[in-house]
Chain A
């Protein structure tokens, strides 16, 4: 245990080693992903894969940790800004940057012990969950939304922890064919959804907590809820009633008889 992490020593004698050796990927580096990257760097994760195809623009500055006005002027890549943030916290960290679609670099992700998804669309989440199930990788997804109501606005969000042989986003009703179809129809016209920094921070913190539970559970009575709902108006989070209702449900959307590469060959990449 090094001096830097003495205050988190309750996570176990080997926690430093576990964190430093566990490759974690963060997909999407703006409101949620930037918070997650910052926290993982502080905790001591030293093998981080960060993926985002986008550049920093003025509207990102209200919530993207590590970004500053000069990044928007320079149109800096988000991966460069987050790499700088991670390295400033933990210079020993090895950061693998991918500026592009994760699907074109999925071989890098197979090594991960966890994938943190901070993606904008249901289609992207669906694809990523399929990938994670195929390679038995725990997937933690966060999302927030702002809805208009009669009395003003309502902030909500959720953290979904999708583990092999456990409830998936389809079981939980988060991914539905209707949502996917609707998103596909409106593709390109979605516009910018409202996003603010504090719910992003809360959801990212819950997601990081889920990851640490996976790696170094600090209490034998911990449970790992598949879905945690966040009520941003009341400022509280709770196990999703959907997940509680489905406690004994067995996922029928994914099975373990189709793992790995469909057409494996020793000579192909």
Chain B
């Protein structure tokens, strides 16, 4: 009961109305574009790390790739900010869709796996490259599978919602 009232209040707020209905090119579609760019940064950089751990481009030194984590985190924060703004625009649409919770769960696990790769593979400078690859192998496979799940769940949000806003 109170949950639906919160959704209603958010939806009627000035910011929500502006993102949804403003004819400005910096409203909804601009935020949505940043959400796609942030995905490209976070997932794109993760995929490069995962591919290298799995043996693609073997002559690429593995340890300097930890610099890619800066891109992953920058992309992650772009996603947090743009995602929250999109949620403010359409709270009912997202929160009444089970797919939204699947997406959030998969993001949590995917980020945890990337942290585990960072801690286990990149933080131990005593490891040789073959040892790093061996240690990171199953984590890299999981990372690819989870990111695929995140992107798919995210994309399906546009097709699986039941209510677009509070009034129906």
A in complex with B: no
Task: Please list the residues of chain A having a beta carbon within 8 angstroms of any beta carbon in chain B.
Answer: none
